[in-house]
Amino acid sequence: MDDIKTQRDLARRILTKLNYHVETVGSGEEAVEYMKKNEADLIVLDMIMEPGIDGFETYRQISYMRPKQKAIIVSGFAETSRVKMAQSLGAGTFVKKPYLRERIGLTIRRELDKK
Question: Are the beta carbons of 112 and 41 closer than 8 angstroms?
Answer: yes
Domain assignment present for residue 9? The answer is yes
pLDDT score, position 48: 87
* Structural domains in the chain (count): 1
Note down pLDDT in tens along the chain; length 115 residues.
999 999 999 999 999 999 999 999 999 999 999 999 999 999 999 998 888 999 999 999 999 999 999 999 998 776 778 899 899 999 999 998 887 889 999 999 999 999 7
pLDDT score, position 100: 84
The CA-atom distances, in angstroms, between 66 and each of 28, 60, 105 are 15, 10, 24
Domain assignment present for residue 115? The answer is no
Domain assignment present for residue 112? The answer is no
pLDDT score, position 76: 76
Give me the domain span that covers residue 21.
Answer: 5-101
CATH assignment of the domain containing 47: 3.40.50.2300
Single out the residue of 83, 82, 102 nearest to residue 93, CA to CA. 83
Neighbours of 68 (CB within 10 A): 6
Residue type, 45: L
Domain assignment present for residue 113? The answer is no
Domain assignment present for residue 12? The answer is yes
